[in-house]
Each structure stands twice: as C-alpha cells, then as structure tokens.
Structure 1
Amino acid sequence: MSQAHNTLHGMLEQWYPQKDSHDWVLGTIYKTQGSSYRKAGAMMMLSSSTQQLGLLSGGCLESDIVRKARQVMETGKSMLVCYDATDEDDLSYQLGIGCGGVVHIMLQAVNSNNSYLNLDKIRTALVNKQSIIYRQFISCEKLESSIELSSSSPPNSFSDTKTSLISIDEESVLESHIFPRAHLLICGGGVDARPLAEFASKVGWEVSIWDPRPANARLEHFQHATRCLSDKALDFKYFVEKEQVHAAVLMTHTLALDAHALKQLIHTNLGYIGLLGPVHRKEQVFEQAQLSFDKHHKRINGPIGFDIGARLPESIALATLAEIHQTLYHHESKAILAPFQALQV
C-alpha cells in the first residue's frame, strides 16, 4: 500500500519508524498574507539524511528551507523564517519565486528531548481515527506544544486541518484542529475500480474495496487499498460507522450487488454515495433494492463524476474522484479562472 507523503498522515507514517535514526526538523507555516501555495497549518519534515516529507510550497522555497533546517539541526534552536515576495530586498522576491505573498514558517528540531513535539501522539491518534487539537508556541526559545483529543468529525463534514493563531499567556500559539484522513469505500473490484483506488490513495485517502465475487477484490489487484472485503453478508452500516467511511462508490456492474449495497448505505450518513451507470440503470438498482426512487434519488450521485469527456477507466476515475473531493470539502465546481473571452472590436 502506498502512502501519500505530502499528507500529514503519510508524512508521519514515513517518519515514525526512523524518528531516532536521523536528526529531524519540523517546518510549519503559521501565518500567510496574500497568495501562497500552502496555508497556515501546513507541515514538512526534513532529515539529516536529506529526506523531505511533505512540502511548504510548490517546490520554490524548499531549497532554502533545507539550508535553514540544517542550521536548526546543528544548533538545536528553533528558527522563524519569513519569505516575502512583495519585498524587493527579500530572497524570494529577488529570485522570482513564490506566489507573490508572504509566508511565515517555524522550524523546530524534533527529538526525544522535546518529546518529538508530540508528533508521535498525533500519529497514534490519526491511526486510531481520532480528531485532535494541536497547539504550537510560535517562538525561537520555547520548544513547547500540546495535544488533546477532540470529538471525531462526522463522516459527512470531512476536512483535513483547520487552524488559527491564538494567544496563551500573551504568547502566540498556532492551534490546529487535525482530522483523520478521508475514507472511500468502493463496491466493486473490477478493472475500472483499480485506478479509482490508486488515485484516491495518492491524494492520501484510506481505501476499502468490497466485492463478494472470488475473482475480484483481491489485494494483488488493489495494492493501494487498505483492505479488500469479500463477505456478502457485510453489515455496511456498522462498517461505515466503525471505520469512519466518508464516501462510497457502487460500481460492481451487477444490479443485484449494487442494490444489495445501496439498500444499506442509503441509511448511513455518508457524505457521498455514487452509482456508476446511466440514469435508467440507477432506476433499476433502486427498484431491485426496493427503494423509492422519488424519495431517495437526490441522495445518490449518478451518473457519477464531472463531465470532462471521460471514456476510459482512468479518466472516469479522475472525474469521479474530483466530484467526491468537491462534495466532501463542500466546494462548488467551477474553473478558478473564467475562460478567456475575446475582446469585442
């Protein structure tokens, strides 16, 4: 199973087994002004063996961050760094890098002497699918952080991290609400499910596959999945609640299996349920599941995916994952920049 190293979950999974084998530095964006590739709360880990886990920009600031991280490793002292692309005297302005805004970064040594800045506890919480509140003092002198468990975010209101700068005893503190990663259940273990599982894993999501047919849902075909389930008697409602599933896609290509899964999933609080196939097939699945189409059809996305002209498994997976991502993050689908319109002469 691959890890998305740019996500906090994937980053910590890579770091943890080697936390005592190298010197490590944690880089955290604690404030931004104007345009920036990453926002407050973004983290990156750098090691004495030149490993870089995560990123704090699109790659334009990392080389300088690496140099400064080495200084932190040598001195053991934290460092506050500001990259100001609006200041003509600033390195980022002179090199023409960055997105034109201001990025404030804190670099801190991570070791057993400072309790690993509680990163090991964050990892444990995320593995156990617990939401947490992480507080970091913004200081060159005070290597202090705290962590507390919070109530788990419900599956239908998924988010990665929410951050804010607060004051504790007249000191600035970055408070980050960190949530478990998204979890996608794919009902169907056919060839077209493989790229969807792979793409979801690459954006850092947990992926589960369900298909009771012996030839399908095999881990050798879904190396990016966390688990493959083949029990036809699976209690979907219990599984969704226990494993904190956020979204489900029904793509077994069999009316009976899609209907079997839909009949249970319709009564969960999933943030997204998608059904592969045209509208008339959707009606057939509802009929076989003995569900009222008029009552429930708006709850089910189908046909699934954005209309991007997708025809093959990979592009259909891309369109589907984009729709799920947009739904879970509660964003409207639109181009970031409106299409160019020719000037009227």
Structure 2
Amino acid sequence: MTELFDQIDELRRGAGRVAVATLVSTRGTTPRKEGARMLVGEGGRILGSVTIGGCVDAQVIEESEDVLASRAPRLLELSLGDEEAWEIGLTCGGTIEVFVEPLATELLERVRAHAHAGRRGAIVTRLDGETGRKLLVLDDGTVEGSLGDAFLDERFAGETEATIAAGVSRTLFLEGTRAFVEVFAPPALLLVVGAGHVAMPLTELARILGYRTVVLDGRPRFASRERFPAVDELRVGIPSELVTAYPLVPSTALVLVAHDYKYDLPVLRHALATDVGYIGMLGSARRGAAIRKLLAEEGVGSAALERIRVPIGLDLGARSAPEIALAILAEIQVVRGGGSGLPMRARPPRATPA
C-alpha cells in the first residue's frame, strides 16, 4: 500500500493527469495477483506493472492513454501468450482483465488516512453497468459513495466487510453485478530489538518491501539517527517495556538481534503470549536451545517455544550483515506469504481448474 501512494504522489508532482490500470481478474490462477497496478502519467511516465512488462503491459499503456484522453474508464480483456501466462501463475496462455480509469484521489486519500491510523478499509469499483462508480467501506462502519443503486451498495458493503477481514483484494459478483474490492491495510510492522550491525541493513531492506520499521535498544550510542537515518521509529529504553506499545499481531514480525539474554528473555516472554506472526532471534542453535530451556523452566509450553526461529533466516550462505539481513527477510516473507522457500524451478506445478 505504501508503494502505491508513493508512486501516486510522485506522478502527481509532475505528470499532469494520471491513469490507473488494475489487474482485477485472472483465469486459471489464484486471486493473489489481483490488485497489481500500473500508473500511466499524461507525460508518458510509467510506474508499476500489471503483468511482467511485456506486450500485455504495452497494450495497457496504449489503452491508458485513450482513457486519459476520453476521461472514461474501461474494462479490458487481454489474452496472454504462454511465457507471460507462466510468469503470473497460469500454466498456459490465458486471459486477464484490467480495469483502466483516470486517477481520482478523494476516496484514496480517505482510505490512506484511515490505514495510516492503523485501520483497514476497501474501495469497491463497479466493473459493469455504471462502470467506475465507487463505494468506500471502512472497518469502523463508515460507508461512502455509491455503486449507483442503494440495494447494491448494501449488498456489496456487507460482502466487503468479510473481504477486508480476509485481507485479500478480489472481484465479487453479486445481484448480477461485478465489482472489484481493493483492500487497504496498515503496512506490516517489522519490530527489531537491538540496534546492532545486522539491524541497519535489515530495516533498510524492509522499507523497500513496504514494512513500517521500528528499532528498540537501551544503548543511545547504537540507537542513533546517524546509524538509522531512514527507520520509521527509533526508541531508546528498556526493550521489554517498549515492546508492549506495539501490536504483536499476525502481520507483525519481531526480530531479536541484540544477542543479549537480558533483552531477549523478557521480550520473548511477552511475545509468546501474543499472536505475533513471526519471532526470530539471532544466534546459534546452541544459544537457541539455552533460551528455550530457560523459558521452559518458567512454564512456557513446547508449542510456544517452537515459534522462536533460531538460528534465524533462510540458508543463503550469508556471511556479511546485509546478507544475514536478506536471509532474515526472506524467511519472514516465506512465513507471511505461505511460500515453500524452494527455488522457483523446484516449485510444484499449480493445479489447473477443470
């Protein structure tokens, strides 16, 4: 979400009008690719992609220019060649749908502010009939705009609440009407305990991936803006006290890189009692076993102890701090995305729907 708004801000500063092309449907693959977006500026500038940047994207760019000229949205149905289809998950050539429209910022700014405050919401865009009509649905019960019919508004608002809870954008078909529900959520949080040498590249890489980054440490010399110029939040104090101020929820990744028992143990006690999605700790298998033993003696159950990933990260043959940071983020992404961690060439082929 952060990348989307950054791109919109960048184009609006100098590209005049902007067209937005959104992948709203893929046939024969999973819905996870829905929501891929390309922005096309009036001056010809392009950010993002709806496929892999091949001939399909070139066709979308051409259509986007027509949309800017006519100021009328349109739904495109595009065929993919075998190579392009494989890249987005289809086992052979297939069809995608891309909705192209002039950029309208009012509802986007509303949902942007809502997500920035830590809440979730969605924008529902009608794909047929009164094409382009929009409905804003927020998780506090707010509903604004209209799809052109009060009954449709009510039906789609109800279904959108479930889509927001699931956190996955998708196309809905209700009452003979299709609409794309785009979910907006706060950026995932990377909470790092310890401002050592690994934490610096770790937070830099995480920001590229769209994470909100926070570093906690009790040592002012280490937790300094000189060492962490781009981190979103840098706090000095007792980590076990500071960590309680942050949401340890399934979308949060907690990484302990202080390599210090007096930091690690109290933070882990707190974290293991929450639903935090990822807990990783820098150190050897021997150190991990010692930490688990101490926590087990305090009554922490074996299932909870298995949540602690130590040694941390995937086996990338990492040696330097940036390489270790990459290995850590790779493991976090595997956990969050449900991947296997295998090379793509070793990935089992996806089943093709009958």
TM-score range, shorter chain: 0.7 to 0.9
Residue 4 (structure 1) aligns with? none
Instruction: Select the residue among 298, 304, 316 that pairs with 2:306.
Output: 298
Work out whether 1:214 is the aligned partner of 2:217: no
C-alpha distance in 1, partners of 2:46/2:272? 42
TM-score w.r.t. length of structure 1: 0.79
Q: Which moved more, 1:17-26 or 1:321-330?
A: 17-26
Instruction: Select the residue among 83, 98, 106 that pairs with 1:105.
Output: 98
Instruction: Select the residue among 60, 64, 68 that pairs with 2:59.
Output: 64
Secondary structure of the 2:325 match is: helix
Describe the shift of the 1:38–1:24 C-alpha distance in structure 2 as closer, same or farther (beyond 3 A).
Answer: farther
The answer (yes or no) to whether the contact 2:256–2:264 under 8 Å persists in 1 is yes
One-letter amino acid matched to 1:254: D
Describe the shift of the 1:330–1:182 C-alpha distance in structure 2 as closer, same or farther (beyond 3 A).
Answer: same
C-alpha distance in 1, partners of 2:13/2:327? 42
The answer (yes or no) to whether the contact 1:117–1:145 under 8 Å persists in 2 is no
The answer (yes or no) to whether the contact 1:77–1:108 under 8 Å persists in 2 is yes
Instruction: Select the residue among 258, 266, 269 that pairs with 2:272.
Output: 266
Instruction: Select the residue among 39, 49, 71 that pairs with 1:45.
Output: 39
Instruction: Select the residue among 248, 251, 254 that pairs with 2:254.
Output: 248
Describe the shift of the 1:56–1:163 C-alpha distance in structure 2 as closer, same or farther (beyond 3 A).
Answer: same
Report the CA distance between 1:257 and its aligned residue: 2.0
Work out whether 1:318 is the aligned partner of 2:326: yes
Instruction: Select the residue among 222, 227, 232 that pairs with 2:233.
Output: 227
Work out whether 1:337 is the aligned partner of 2:345: yes
Residue 8 (structure 2) aligns with? 15
One-letter amino acid matched to 1:211: D
Residue 343 (structure 1) aligns with? none
C-alpha distance in 2, partners of 1:124/1:16? 14
Query: What value does the CA root-mean-square deviation take over the aligned residues?
Result: 3.2
Q: Which moved more, 1:256-265 or 1:102-111?
A: 256-265
One-letter amino acid matched to 1:42: A
Describe the shift of the 1:242–1:50 C-alpha distance in structure 2 as closer, same or farther (beyond 3 A).
Answer: farther
C-alpha distance in 2, partners of 1:237/1:212? 12
Secondary structure of the 2:270 match is: helix
Instruction: Select the residue among 110, 128, 135 that pairs with 1:121.
Output: 110
Residue 149 (structure 1) aligns with? 138
Instruction: Select the residue among 137, 146, 167 that pairs with 2:126.
Output: 137
Report the CA distance between 1:306 and its aligned residue: 1.4
Q: Say which structure, 1 or 2, has more relative contact order (CA 8 Å, 6+ apart).
A: 1
Tell me the percent identity.
23
The answer (yes or no) to whether the contact 2:123–2:135 under 8 Å persists in 1 is yes
Secondary structure of the 2:122 match is: strand
Looking at secondary structure, tell me which structure has more helix per residue: 2
Q: Which moved more, 1:28-37 or 1:176-185?
A: 28-37
Describe the shift of the 1:309–1:220 C-alpha distance in structure 2 as closer, same or farther (beyond 3 A).
Answer: same
C-alpha distance in 1, partners of 2:97/2:2? 23
Q: Which moved more, 1:284-293 or 1:195-204?
A: 284-293
TM-score w.r.t. length of structure 2: 0.77
Secondary structure of the 2:202 match is: helix
Report the CA distance between 1:325 and its aligned residue: 1.4
Report the CA distance between 1:284 and its aligned residue: 3.9
Secondary structure of the 2:329 match is: helix
C-alpha distance in 1, partners of 2:286/2:226? 34
Residue 78 (structure 1) aligns with? 73
Describe the shift of the 1:37–1:272 C-alpha distance in structure 2 as closer, same or farther (beyond 3 A).
Answer: closer
Work out whether 1:167 is the aligned partner of 2:177: no
The answer (yes or no) to whether the contact 1:117–1:144 under 8 Å persists in 2 is no
Gapped regions of structure 2 (runs ≥ 5): 87-92, 142-164, 348-354
The answer (yes or no) to whether the contact 1:161–1:179 under 8 Å persists in 2 is no
One-letter amino acid matched to 1:9: T
